[in-house]
Structure 1
Amino acid sequence: MIALLLALGSSLAYGCADFLGGLGSRRAHVLRTVLIAAPASLAVELLMWPLLGARFEAGAVAWGAASGVASAGAFALLYRTLAIGPMNVLSPVTALVSAVLPVSVGLLQGEHLGAAALVGLPLALVAVVLVSAGSADGTARVTRPALLLAFGAGAAIAVQLVCLHQAPTGSGIAPLIVGRAVTSVLTLAAAALRRRHLGPERPAYALALAAGVLDSAASVLFLLAARGGDLAVVAVITALYPAGTVLLARAVLAERIHRGQLAGLGAAAVAVSLLALA
C-alpha cells in the first residue's frame, strides 16, 4: 500500500511537471526551459541527500548516469511534444509508451502478481489509452512529427525508470543525483552547441523552475515506490500521470475533456483500487 501511495504521488507530480514544462516551452525554445528545470531538479535532490542518504557505489553511478542520459532526452522530447501539440492527446500517448517497457522488465525479472493485480494492471493500461481517446479540438490537430516526438519521449522515460530501478537498493538517492548531474551537463552542452538557434525569447523562469522541482519530487517518489513494490505495478501507476496533465490543460488552457477521457479517468480509479488490494 505504501508503494502504491508513493507511485500515485509520483504520478501526480509528473503530471504537473509535464504541464508546466510544456507550457513554458511554448514561450521559449525547449532547451531554455530544460536549462532551468534540470539544475533545479539536481538542487532539490542535493537538499534531500542528508535526509535520504546516498552511497556512490559503482552500480549506483553507472545506472544513475544511464538514467541521466535518458532523462536529458526525456526532458527535451517531452517538453517539445507538449509545446507543439494538444496536451490532452500527446501526454497520454507518451505515458502509454513509457509504461510498456518497465512493466515488461518487471515481469521478465520474475515479479508475481496476484489476481487483483492481474486485472488492475491491464485495466490501468486501458485507462491510459482511454484518457488519450478524446480527439483534439478542430483548431489543434495532432501531426505525425508530434506523435513521433511523443513516442520518443515515452521510450526515453521508460529507459530512465528502468535504470533507476536497476540501481542498488542501498544506494539511497545517489542514482538520482548522478543522473541529474549528467542531465544538466548534457543540456548545457546541447544549448552551447545550438545557442544560435535558441531564439531571443526569454524562458518562463517560474514555470521551468516549478517543473524541475516537481519532476525531482516525482523521481524520488518513484524510486522509493519501486524499491518497496513491484516495478510492473509501480510503473503503470506512475504512467497514469496524464490525468493530472489533462485536468490542468482543461483548467488553464480550456482544452476539452471528451467522454473517452472521462471514462479513462474512471477506469484509472478502478485500476488503482484493484492494485491496492493486490
Structure 2
Amino acid sequence: MLALLLALGSSLAYGCADFLGGLGARRAHVLRTVMIAAPASLAVELLLWPLLGASFSTGALVWGAASGFASAAAFALLYQTLAIGPMNVLSPVTALVSAVLPVGVGLLQGEHLGLAGLLGLPLALVAVVLVSAGHGAGSARPSRSALLPALGAGAAIASQMVCLHQAPSDSGVAPLIIGRAVPSAITLTAAGLMGRRLGTEKPVHAMSAAAGALDSLANLMFLLAARNGDLAVVAVITALYPAGTVLLARSVLAEKIYRGQLVGLGTAAVAVGLLALT
C-alpha cells in the first residue's frame, strides 16, 4: 500500500510539472525552460541529502548517471512535444510508452502478479490513454515531427524509471543527485553552444523552476515506491500523470474535461483499487 500511495503522489507531481513545463516551453525556447528546470530539480535533491542520506557507490553512480542522460532527453523531448501538440493525441502516446516499457522490464525480471494485478494493469494502461486524450483525439493526426518526440519522450521517461529502479536500494538519494547533475551539465553546455539560436524570448523563471522542483519530488516518490513495491505496478500507476495535468488545466485554465477523460479517471480509480489488492 505504501508503494501505491507513493506512486500516486509521483504521478500527481509529474502531471503538475508537465503542465508548468509545457506552458513555459510555449513562451520561450524549450532549452531555456530546461536550463532553469534542471538546476532547480538538482537543488531540491541536494536539500534532501542531509535528510535522507546518500551513498555514492559504483552502482549508484552508474545507474544515477544513466537515469540523468535519460532525464535530459525526457525534459527536452517532453517539453517540445507539449509545445508542438496536438497534446490530445501525443500525450497518450508518451504516457503509454512510458508505462509499457517498465512494466515489461519488471515482468522480465521475475515480478509476479496475482489475479487482481493482472486485471488492474491493463485497466490502468487503458486509463492512461483515456485520461490523456482530449476532445477529437480520434480524428487529429499529428505530424511525424510531432510524433517522434512524443515516442522519444515516452522511451526516455521509461528508461529513467528503469535506471532508478536498478540503483542499489541502500544508496539513499545518491542516484537522484547524480541523475540531476548530469542533465543540468548537459543543458548548460548545450545552451552555451547554441547561444543566440535559442532566441530572445525570456523564460518564465518561477514557472520553470517550479516544474523542475516538482519533477524532482516526483522522482523521489517514484524511487521510494520502486524500492517498496514491484516496478510493473509502480510504473503503470506513475504513468497516470496526465490525470494531474488534466485536473490542473481544469482548475487553473478552466479547460473542459471531456467524457472520455472522465471515463479514464473512473477506470484509473478501479485499476488503482485492483492493484492495491496485489
Question: What interval of TM-score do these two structures reach, taking the shorter chain for normalisation?
Answer: over 0.9
The offset of 1:49, in angstroms, is 0.5
| Deviation beyond 4 Å, 4+ runs, structure 1 | none
Q: Deviations over 1:11-40 (max 9, x none)?
A: 000000000001011110000110000000
AA in 2 matched with 1:237: I
* 2:156 alignment partner in structure 1: 156
Q: Quote the RMSD (CA, aligned, Å).
A: 1.5
* 2:17 alignment partner in structure 1: 17
Q: Which moved more, 1:18-27 or 1:256-265?
A: 256-265
- Is contact 2:65-2:179 (8 Å) kept? yes
- Is contact 1:65-1:175 (8 Å) kept? yes
Q: Which moved more, 1:151-160 or 1:254-263?
A: 254-263
- Is contact 1:87-1:249 (8 Å) kept? no
**Runs of at least 5 residues in structure 2 that lack an aligned partner in the other structure:** none
* 2:216 alignment partner in structure 1: 216
- Is contact 2:250-2:257 (8 Å) kept? yes
- Is contact 2:91-2:133 (8 Å) kept? no
- Is contact 1:98-1:239 (8 Å) kept? yes
Query: What secondary structure sits across from 2:170 in the alignment?
Result: helix
Query: What secondary structure sits across from 2:202 in the alignment?
Result: coil
Change over 3 Å in CA distance of 1:18–1:133 after alignment to 2: closer
The offset of 1:268, in angstroms, is 0.4
- Within 5 Å, give how 1:92-241 maps onto structure 2: 92-136=92-136, 142-241=142-241
Q: Which moved more, 1:220-229 or 1:196-205?
A: 196-205
Q: Distance in 1 between matches of 2:142 and 2:251?
A: 20
The answer on 1:261 being equivalent to 2:252 is no
Q: Distance in 2 between matches of 1:77 and 1:68?
A: 14
Q: Distance in 2 between matches of 1:86 and 1:27?
A: 17
Q: Distance in 2 between matches of 1:212 and 1:270?
A: 31
AA in 2 matched with 1:240: L
Q: Distance in 2 between matches of 1:195 and 1:42?
A: 23
Change over 3 Å in CA distance of 1:147–1:252 after alignment to 2: farther
Q: Which moved more, 1:191-200 or 1:9-18?
A: 191-200
Q: Distance in 1 between matches of 2:209 and 2:49?
A: 20
Change over 3 Å in CA distance of 1:141–1:253 after alignment to 2: farther
Query: What secondary structure sits across from 1:56 in the alignment?
Result: coil
The offset of 1:80, in angstroms, is 1.0
AA in 2 matched with 1:60: A
- Is contact 1:86-1:136 (8 Å) kept? no
Q: Distance in 2 between matches of 1:133 and 1:57?
A: 42
Q: Deviations over 1:103-122 (max 9, x none)?
A: 00000000011111110011
- Within 5 Å, give how 1:45-60 maps onto structure 2: 45-60=45-60
* 1:7 alignment partner in structure 2: 7
Q: Deviations over 1:143-192 (max 9, x none)?
A: 33222211110000000110000011111110110010001001111111
- Is contact 1:91-1:245 (8 Å) kept? no
- Within 5 Å, give how 1:23-42 maps onto structure 2: 23-42=23-42
Q: Which moved more, 1:201-210 or 1:79-88?
A: 79-88
For this pair of structures, how many residues does the alignment match? 276
Percent of aligned pairs with the same amino acid = 79
AA in 2 matched with 1:235: A
- Is contact 2:127-2:265 (8 Å) kept? yes
Q: Distance in 2 between matches of 1:233 and 1:261?
A: 22
Q: Distance in 1 between matches of 2:33 and 2:129?
A: 28
